[in-house]
Structure 1
Amino acid sequence: MNTIISSYRTINHCLAFGAMFMVLVLSSCEEVINTDLSKADPVIVIDGSVSDQSEVHTVKVSKTIAFDQPNAFNGVTGAKVTVYSSTSQTYSFTASGDGIYKSQRFRGLSGVNYILEVITGGKTYKASSIMPTAVKPDSITFKKLAFFGNSRVYPAIYYRDPARIQNQYRYIVKVNGVLTAEQVSEDRFSDGNATSDLLTFDGDGIQTGDKVDVEIQCIDRNVFKYYFAISQISGNGGPPVAPSNPNSNLDNGALGIFSANTRSAYTVTLK
């Protein structure tokens, strides 16, 4: 279920890929329908998060670009970005670059519902996310797998899943400072058990001396569904599915995701 494809790139071309898929299906009929993918109206894309760390939090606001244009971040300026909490806190975000909005330093709390509000172009977009309780790993080690006579080494996360609570996890892996994989998992078959998640990715795996940074996030159910859909579209963990927009928790037609998540980071080196 890991994915190296970026969320922004997937969102930015989802509409175009979906349109292309429909053209291919319809072309099997007698009538051929031509679609100009470059004329699709731009759609607002919002990507933001609040964590349980005392830090500056970021929300990115952009618009999709035409299918025939170079893939780039098409930032939206002049937006009003605010996060409200169910504990009656209000956090205003200020512009920090093209389409980037940052908060003052604060720490999110588990069990609190956070509501993102973005006002731009005369429209208001909202999303909400409840921050889960953090689940800490017991250890992070390396595991060797054999592939057609060749062996590769990958990081593995060992932890005990809390019983009778629906838990979802997201992992972000960097090898020697380079983003290598993003992967999500859930406890459907491991609720309350000691378990492990193996973080696999394309390429040669981990080599001796490589420094591996692993960020572990506990995410809510809607955020999990969003990232899982991206992994399915890109074909990780099986054949790719028909392109479509991953389900967003944002309203009013916006694409993207807002996540209130716990976050912990670890660094391990293969010796």
Structure 2
Amino acid sequence: MKKITLLLPIFLSFLFSSCEEVIDLELEESEPRLVIEASILWFKGDPGTDQTIRLSETSPFYDDELNPVETAVVKITSETGDIFDFTYTEDGTYRNNNFDAKLNASYELTIEYEGQSYKATEKLIPVTNLEFVEQTESGGFSGEDIEIKAYYKDPAETEDYYLFKFFEEDVNLEIYEDEFTNGNQIFGYFSNEDIEVNDIIEIEMQGISKRYYEYLFILRSQVGSNDGGPFETMPATVKGNIVNQTNPSDFPFGYFRLSEVDSTTYIVE
């Protein structure tokens, strides 16, 4: 099992905000790029009909405000030809309330915006079940921190990739692949020195594609331990799977993917 951890709290928390002197550098500004957050999530036990896609544009270097996109045409087409239109609501969010989720089915995302056409195709990746959660006190560098392990049985007949999300004060993300654990019982892991008794931790396990796993792996190597989300302004160029059909060199940031999700809530003892 390979594990990559991504810590994703609020973006751009400046470490030296108390400095007395502010120096503005004259940096060359690039043209804004479209940022696409298109994660279609189907939670076990839920019909999966309500889905959202968020669109924004990149900002100049010194501007940490979001630039929501309000005028795009957004739709997803299933492999059987069903079309699911996403309607703009607010803050760059587009919604659909009749999405038909089918495991292992292919879906195509299409976005039309300012004369540009963006497309991507992905399958809805299934995920196995979470079995139980275990708590110990041997985590962290001290070996005494509370650690949480969410166990699952990896299917032996398939090559599988997982994204774990642990929601506490921040969001801790880990990605796994089953090269060395195929068919075994294994766990997603979370430890934080600030975890306390009675803390509530929301746990999600998502099935992801190999391509999305590799995308997150590259993203992790780019951002290191810096603060920020995977769809905010990048320290370096990380291309997703969405292609600008009109002008390929003007590629967007972000990713289109579809995942089945199993989730649970754990109260720290």
Do Structure 1 and Structure 2 share a fold, with TM-score over 0.5? yes
How far apart are the structure 2 equivalents of 1:146 and 1:213?
A: 19
How far apart are the structure 1 equivalents of 2:29 and 2:185?
A: 51
Q: 1:88 to 1:9 in 2, by over 3 A?
A: farther
Secondary structure of the residue aligned to 1:3 is: strand
Do the aligned residues in 1 keep the contact of 2:109 with 2:256 (CA within 8 Å)? Answer: yes
Among candidates 79, 96, 100, match of residue 86 of structure 1 = 79
- The yes-or-no answer on 1:110 pairing with 2:100 is no
Secondary structure of the residue aligned to 1:138 is: strand
Do the aligned residues in 1 keep the contact of 2:239 with 2:252 (CA within 8 Å)? Answer: no
| 2:50 corresponds to | 56
| 2:196 corresponds to | 207
| 2:5 corresponds to | 2
| 2:178 corresponds to | 187
| 1:13 corresponds to | none
Give the letter for the 1:189 counterpart: F
> Comparing both chains, which one has the higher relative contact order based on Cα–Cα distances under 8 Å and sequence gaps of 6 or more?
2
The structure that is strand-richer by fraction is 2
Q: How far apart are 1:148 and its partner, in Å?
A: 5.0
| 2:162 corresponds to | 169
Q: How far apart are 1:108 and its partner, in Å?
A: 1.1
Task: Note the alpha carbon deviations across 1:182-210, whole angstroms, 9 max, x for none.
Answer: 2211112111222122124xx52421111
| 1:67 corresponds to | 61
Report how many residues are paired. 236
How far apart are the structure 2 equivalents of 1:226 and 1:9?
A: 19
| 2:21 corresponds to | none
| 1:120 corresponds to | 113
1:18-33 map, 5 Å: none
| 1:25 corresponds to | none
Q: 1:226 to 1:41 in 2, by over 3 A?
A: same
Q: How far apart are 1:232 and its partner, in Å?
A: 2.2
Q: How far apart are 1:113 and its partner, in Å?
A: 0.7
| 1:230 corresponds to | 219
Among candidates 263, 266, 269, match of residue 265 of structure 1 = 263
Q: How far apart are 1:41 and its partner, in Å?
A: 1.1
| 2:138 corresponds to | 145
Among candidates 10, 25, 30, match of residue 40 of structure 1 = 30
Give the letter for the 2:217 counterpart: F
Do the aligned residues in 1 keep the contact of 2:84 with 2:98 (CA within 8 Å)? Answer: no
The structure that is helix-richer by fraction is 1
Task: Note the alpha carbon deviations across 1:126-155, whole angstroms, 9 max, x for none.
Answer: 111111222111112223335454511122
Q: How far apart are 1:111 and its partner, in Å?
A: 0.9
Secondary structure of the residue aligned to 2:97 is: coil
How far apart are the structure 2 equivalents of 1:233 and 1:102?
A: 31
Flag as ranges the 4+ runs of structure 1 deviating above 6 A. none
| 2:248 corresponds to | none
How far apart are the structure 2 equivalents of 1:9 and 1:222?
A: 25
Secondary structure of the residue aligned to 1:199 is: strand
Secondary structure of the residue aligned to 1:117 is: strand
Q: 1:153 to 1:108 in 2, by over 3 A?
A: same
Do the aligned residues in 2 keep the contact of 1:87 with 1:112 (CA within 8 Å)? Answer: no
Share of identical aligned residues, percent?
22
Q: 1:102 to 1:43 in 2, by over 3 A?
A: same
Q: How far apart are 1:162 and its partner, in Å?
A: 0.9
